[in-house]
């Protein structure tokens, strides 16, 4: 989960983009960039952990850039995970890494920032508009940050504000088989000339199997053609095969400029179970005129000490320059490995790359090796401690504590003698890569 508020920023229905051209220089043959592993941090929307304000848009990958510097093949870099509410009982020291990261150029491309004025005023009890685009790299918000409040009675109302803008709000309930119930509220509004518009939907779902879900979807557009869309949800269910309770959270965010060839998309997901199994990941895409970038990462903890982490990010320009880096680590009971690659391709298709690897034997010995296309190589065994995160920095206990509204959803009363229909189906298969960007956002090369 990440911890910076970079993305589109807007004025009140104003998306003036000020872009700086990407500065990419080819690397000389004797110049080796430092490869540092991407830092993933816990993300929340409270001011303690995330910078809150109008959105920024930064071209390129979401993380801060490490300056290029000369380094030997086996230089050590130590990183520690950012965790402002660190549990003292959980070991969370970031690994020591041999290699270092290919820089992802990030020109200071931002949008003019001003505060939004509410699109709807409290007059006639109209809904308060949240007609702001989502923020980049803010991960999955907690339910309390959305302020979801569903009415118990049916309401359908609308009104006009003093500035001529209009609003509406309605809510309802849908019932189905197996005790299914969905309570929802829809609201929205538009400016007096219909040039700008916003919509938002809240819902909660439940049934007799114990399934509970809380969700939000919002979208908007402004007079300059800028548009955005965001959805968030969390659910509680019991795994049919293991009989273990699970909580899953996800978020998707997207924004597009109406005046520039610019936009971004992100999908985040987290899955937890009561025995400590945890999976987290994100897929991101962005474009600013002739520049595009992608990033994917994942974490998997089996709850018994085994951990897998990986990151893959890359970028390109329309001139043909491409660059990126990726790494992966696997550990169990102090034994494991890390490996990765940094690469760069020039417009003339000249390719530079540097690969590296580490084998940790669990006895204080680490085998480090690597090479590059310019002739650099190393293969050594060193005395070095092995550090890795055997447990997630945000796990089952944390997500339960942050999901009080989800857990408090009341299902319909089940009549005596009526039991829920459980469809066990086939055992779950490993998930495919189904978190890709929308089809209108191009994939990587």
Mean pLDDT confidence for 153-169: 92
| Whole-angstrom distance, CA of residue 173 vs CA of residue 155 | 11
Where on the phi/psi map is residue 88: left (φ > 0), alpha (ψ -120 to 50), or beta? alpha
Q: What is the mean pLDDT of residues 111-137?
A: 54
Q: How many CB atoms lie within 10 A of CB 312?
A: 19
pLDDT at 246: 97
Query: In the beta sheet, which residues pair with residue 238?
Result: 245
What pLDDT, on the 0 to 100 scale, is given for residue 417?
A: 81
Measure the CA–CA gap between 316 and 323, rounded to whole angstroms.
Answer: 6
The closest alpha carbon to 235, from 223, 245, 220, 244, belongs to: 245
- What's the rounded mean pLDDT across residues 63-82? 36
Q: How confident is the model at residue 14 (pLDDT cuts 50, 70, 90)?
A: very low
Taking alpha carbons only, the member of 266, 372, 389 closest to residue 334 is: 389
Cα distances (angstroms) measured from residue 304 to each of 275, 276, 396: 9, 8, 14
Is pLDDT above 90 for 93? no
Over residues 243-297, the pLDDT tens digits come to 899 999 999 999 999 999 999 999 999 999 999 999 999 999 999 999 999 999 9
Q: What angle do CA 117, 118, 121 make, to 5 degrees?
A: 130
167 CB-near residues (< 8 Å, 6+ apart): 119, 120, 126, 127, 129, 158, 159, 160, 161, 187, 188, 189
pLDDT reading at 110 higher than 60? no
pLDDT of 114 reads: 32
Model confidence at 34, in pLDDT bands (50, 70, 90)?
very low
Query: What integer pLDDT is reported at residue 428 of this predicted model?
Result: 53
DSSP bridge partners of 255: 228, 264
Phi, psi of 358 (to 5 degrees): -140, 140
State mean pLDDT over 382-403: 95
From the number of C-beta atoms within 10 Å of its C-beta (0-12, 13-18, 19+), residue 159 rates as: middle
Q: What is the pLDDT of residue 409?
A: 96
Q: How many CB atoms lie within 10 A of CB 49?
A: 19
Q: How confident is the model at residue 423 (pLDDT cuts 50, 70, 90)?
A: low
Flag whether pLDDT at 209 surpasses 60.
Answer: yes
pLDDT score at 241: 79
Under the banding of pLDDT at 50, 70 and 90, the label for residue 125 is: low
* E strand or H helix at 217: strand 212-221
Confidence of residue 8 (pLDDT cuts 50, 70, 90): very low
Distances (CA, A) of 271 to 66, 238, 400: 31, 12, 12
**pLDDT of 12 above 90:** no
Rg (the chain; Cα; Å): 24
Q: What is the DSSP string of 1-65?
A: ------S---BTTB--EE-------PPPTT------PPP-----SSTTTS--SS----SS-SSPP
Mean pLDDT of 144-152: 88
What is the structure's pLDDT at 242?
A: 81
For the chain, percent of residues with pLDDT exceeding 90: 58
CA distance 379 to 357: 9
As a three-state string, the secondary structure of 57-117 is CCCCCCCCCCCCCCCCCCCCEECCCCCCCCCCCCCCCCCEECCCCCCCCCCCCEECCCCCC
Residues 326, 311 contacting (CB under 8 angstroms)? yes
* pLDDT at residue 101, as a whole number: 35
Angle at 260 (CA atoms; ends 6, 293), nearest 5 degrees = 50
Q: For the full predicted model, state whether its pTM sits above 0.85.
A: no
CB atoms within 10 A of CB 198: 24
Give the confidence band of 154 by pLDDT, cuts at 50, 70, 90. Answer: confident
> Residues of the chain with pLDDT > 70: what percent?
65
What six digits make up the tokens of 179?
């005790």
pLDDT, mean over the chain = 75
- Model confidence band, residue 128 (pLDDT cutoffs 50, 70, 90): low
More confident residue, 69 or 197: 197
438 pLDDT exceeds 50?
Answer: no
Out of 3-7, 182-186, 226-230, least confident range: 3-7
The answer on pLDDT for 72 being more than 90 is no
Check if the beta carbon of residue 159 is closer than 8 Å to that of residue 194: no
| Residue 67 pLDDT | 34
- In the block, residue with structure tokens 């995330």: 50
Task: Name the least confident of 27-41, 158-172, 278-292, 344-358.
Answer: 27-41
Alpha-carbon separation of residue 374 from 35, 72, 341 (angstroms): 16, 13, 14
- Place 99 in a pLDDT band, splitting at 50, 70 and 90: very low
In this prediction, residue 198 carries a pLDDT of 95
| Of the candidate ranges 131-140, 310-319, 361-370, the one whose mean pLDDT is the lowest | 131-140
**Helix (H/G/I), strand (E/B), else coil: 404:** helix
- Mean pLDDT of the 306-317 span: 97
């Amino acid at each position: 989960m990440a911890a910076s508020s970079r993305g589109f920023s807007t004025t009140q229905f104003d998306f003036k983009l000020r872009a700086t051209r990407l500065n990419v220089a080819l690397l000389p043959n004797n110049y080796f960039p430092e490869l540092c592993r991407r830092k993933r941090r816990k993300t929340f929307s409270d001011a303690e952990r995330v910078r809150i304000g109008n959105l920024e848009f930064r071209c390129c990958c979401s993380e801060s850039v490490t300056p290029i510097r000369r380094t030997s093949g086996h230089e050590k870099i130590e990183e520690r995970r950012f965790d402002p509410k660190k549990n003292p009982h959980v070991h969370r020291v970031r690994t020591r890494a041999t290699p270092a990261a290919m820089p992802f150029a990030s020109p200071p491309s931002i949008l003019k920032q001003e505060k939004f004025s509410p699109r709807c005023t409290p007059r006639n009890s109209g809904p308060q508009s949240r007609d702001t685009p989502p923020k980049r790299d803010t991960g999955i918000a907690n339910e309390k940050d959305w302020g979801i409040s569903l009415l118990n009675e049916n309401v359908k109302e609308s009104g006009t504000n003093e500035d001529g803008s209009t609003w509406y709000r309605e809510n309802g309930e849908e019932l189905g088989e197996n005790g299914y119930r969905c309570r929802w509220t829809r609201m929205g509004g538009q400016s007096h000339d219909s040039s700008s518009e916003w919509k938002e939907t809240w819902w909660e779902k439940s049934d007799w199997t114990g399934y509970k879900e809380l969700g939000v979807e919002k979208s908007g557009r402004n007079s300059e053609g800028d548009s955005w869309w965001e959805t968030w949800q969390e659910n509680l269910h019991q795994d049919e095969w293991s009989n273990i309770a699970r909580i899953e959270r996800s978020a998707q965010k997207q924004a597009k400029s109406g005046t520039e060839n610019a936009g971004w998309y992100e999908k985040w997901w987290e899955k937890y179970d009561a025995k400590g199994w945890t999976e987290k990941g994100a897929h991101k895409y962005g474009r600013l005129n002739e520049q595009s970038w992608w990033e994917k990462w994942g974490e998997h903890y089996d709850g018994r000490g085994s951990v897998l982490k990986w990151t893959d990010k890359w970028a390109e320009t329309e001139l043909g320059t491409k660059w990126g880096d990726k790494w992966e680590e696997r550990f169990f009971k102090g034994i494991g490995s890390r490996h990765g690659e940094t690469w760069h391709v020039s417009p003339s298709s000249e390719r530079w790359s540097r690969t590296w690897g580490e084998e940790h034997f669990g006895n204080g010995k680490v085998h480090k090796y690597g090479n590059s296309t310019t002739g650099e190589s190393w293969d050594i065994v060193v005395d070095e401690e092995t550090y890795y995160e055997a447990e997630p920095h945000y796990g089952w206990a944390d997500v339960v504590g942050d999901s009080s509204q989800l857990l408090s959803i009341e299902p319909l009363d089940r009549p005596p003698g009526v039991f829920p229909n459980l469809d066990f189906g086939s055992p779950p298969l490993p998930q495919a890569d189904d978190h890709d960007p929308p089809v209108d956002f191009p994939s990587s090369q």
